[in-house]
Homo-oligomer: A and B are copies of this chain.
Amino acid sequence: VSWTCPGFLFAGAAAGIKKKGGLDVGLIAAEAPASCAAVFTRNRVRAAPVRLSRRHLGAAQGQIRGIVVNSGNANACTGPGGARDALRMAELAAKAIGAAPGEVLVSSTGVIGQRLPMDRVVAGIHTAGVSLYDAGFAAFSEAIMTTDRRPKVASHPLTLGGRTITLLGCTKGAGMIAPNMATTLTFVVTDAAIDPSRLDPAVRHAVAGTYNAMTVDGDQSTNDMLAVMASGVAGPLDDAAHARFGAALTDLLADLAHQLMSDGEGVHHVVTIAVRGATSEAAARSVARRVATSPLVKTAIAGADPNWGRILCAIGNAGVKIDARRIEVAFDDVPIVARSTAVPDLDDARAAAVMQRPAYTITIDLHQGEHRGQYLACDLSHEYVSINADYRS
């Protein structure tokens, strides 16, 4: 697997923004205007770079030339000065890649409420600009990290009628690993040729089942952003190829999302909450989300305690109309609950053994309909509290 994508150059630079050092300015440059679709945090308190990127993406009608990212400082809750800093980052990056500022998106992650050290940012963007090259994706993926323990990169090439289409992505963050905020950033590049008008729904569909169906601690950050750029170098897709591209994008994001959860400090178990038998997909997802976010369920996962009453309690709290007498629960292949009470021969030891696994599935059947939905969940552990309570002490 090669970490390159025709039509794109990448770079990472160490600018001294992160206290602990390391790469902290990343740059993606498209050699020509590329289709771009992105989703941003739905938090009403949005960082300056998020507000700027939404504006630029809209004004450029989804045709952009580059993305500049810094880690170590989120440029959030920084007032009008912060907005000027974000614009200046776009201007500097545009100059470095020979584009207009309006063709550049900006993304930041790190501490909140502090102005960016702009002297360092200026130097960092300059260094990144002169370091751009086709194999720079590894450096870029490192430059976006905050407390991540390792870069999270995935490449899912797709063969379509003899042609190979590249899909290359990286991600960072998650609540559990970002003490000062739960920022999640994800960037994907492809050489497929897709109009922004077709790329946008494909991205939204892929996000719905992956990044929007996982939870570490339920908070959306002020800075969350996921962007996909398509250079078009590999040529256009026909309708069948479009569908396969969408599926491949979903797979790529699912891969990155799972890496994201697994890398959380304090995360020992990544658990898929799979709900079926619901009256609608939305109902299934609501139930999955409620179970995935319940602190009582999450501490039971941490303790590998097959405490199924907490799962039923969370299901009942989902705000979804359910038949409370028909719920079925299994941990991987071990039946736990049938008709809303413990199965007659419940094997506590086998159930606890499943819960020792680093990844497993809790399947919930509501027996009310044909629809399914799922969420990725994780444990709520002592490390989570330590990381988040003792951060500044």
Contacts of A307 in B (CB 8 A): 180, 391-392
Q: Which residue of B lies closest to A310 (CB)?
A: B181
Q: Please determine whether A317 and B385 come into contact, CB atoms closer than 8 angstroms.
A: no
Query: In whole angstroms, what is the CA distance A342 to B386 when docked?
Result: 25
Which among A45, A222, A386, A391 has the greatest number of chain B C-beta atoms within 10 A?
Answer: A45
| A79: interface (CB < 8 Å) | yes
Query: In whole angstroms, what is the CA distance A43 to B221 when docked?
Result: 29
Q: Which residue of B lies closest to A382 (CB)?
A: B385
Q: Please determine whether A219 and B294 come into contact, CB atoms closer than 8 angstroms.
A: yes
Number of copies: 2
Query: In whole angstroms, what is the CA distance A380 to B322 when docked?
Result: 30
Q: Please determine whether A390 and B340 come into contact, CB atoms closer than 8 angstroms.
A: no
Q: Please determine whether A316 and B388 come into contact, CB atoms closer than 8 angstroms.
A: no
| A358: interface (CB < 8 Å) | no
Q: Which of B181, B293, B318, B327 contacts A313 (CB 8 A)?
A: B181
Number of interface residues of A (CB under 8 A): 67
Q: Please determine whether A113 and B309 come into contact, CB atoms closer than 8 angstroms.
A: yes
Q: Please determine whether B303 and A340 come into contact, CB atoms closer than 8 angstroms.
A: no
CB distance from A212 to the nearest CB of B (A): 14
Q: Which of A288-314 contact B (CB under 8 A)?
A: 293-296, 299-300, 302-305, 307-310, 312-314
| Contacts A182-B296, A219-B296, A296-B219 given; does A380 touch B391 at CB 8 Å | no
| Contacts A77-B340, A385-B380 given; does A393 touch B44 at CB 8 Å | no
| A235: interface (CB < 8 Å) | no
| A204: interface (CB < 8 Å) | no
Query: In whole angstroms, what is the CA distance A145 to B219 when docked?
Result: 34
| A218: interface (CB < 8 Å) | yes
Interface SS majority for chain A: loop
| Contacts A181-B309, A182-B296, A342-B113 given; does A324 touch B385 at CB 8 Å | no
| A349: interface (CB < 8 Å) | no
Query: In whole angstroms, what is the CA distance A301 to B385 when docked?
Result: 11
Q: Please determine whether B393 and A296 come into contact, CB atoms closer than 8 angstroms.
A: no
Contacts of A305 in B (CB 8 A): 389, 391-393
Contacts of A42 in B (CB 8 A): 317
| A315: interface (CB < 8 Å) | yes
Q: Which of B304, B308, B324, B386 contacts A113 (CB 8 A)?
A: B308
Contacts of A180 in B (CB 8 A): 307, 309-310
| Contacts A305-B393, A322-B44, A390-B303 given; does A219 touch B313 at CB 8 Å | yes
| Contacts A77-B340, A382-B382 given; does A312 touch B388 at CB 8 Å | no
CB distance from A157 to the nearest CB of B (A): 37
Q: Please determine whether B392 and A340 come into contact, CB atoms closer than 8 angstroms.
A: no
Contacts of A220 in B (CB 8 A): 313, 316-317
Query: In whole angstroms, what is the CA distance A264 to B315 when docked?
Result: 24
| Contacts A44-B316, A309-B77 given; does A300 touch B341 at CB 8 Å | no
Which 10 A-B pairs rank lowest in CB-CB distance, beginning with the nearest? A112-B309, A45-B316, A303-B389, A299-B388, A43-B316, A44-B316, A217-B295, A302-B389, A299-B389, A45-B324
Task: Kindly list 12 other residue pairs between chains A and B, CB separation below 8 angstroms, not including A46-B316, A180-B310, A220-B316.
Answer: A77-B312, A79-B341, A112-B313, A175-B296, A217-B296, A303-B389, A303-B391, A304-B393, A305-B391, A380-B389, A381-B385, A382-B385
8 A-B Cβ contacts within 8 A?
A: A42-B317, A44-B321, A44-B324, A45-B313, A180-B307, A180-B309, A304-B393, A305-B391
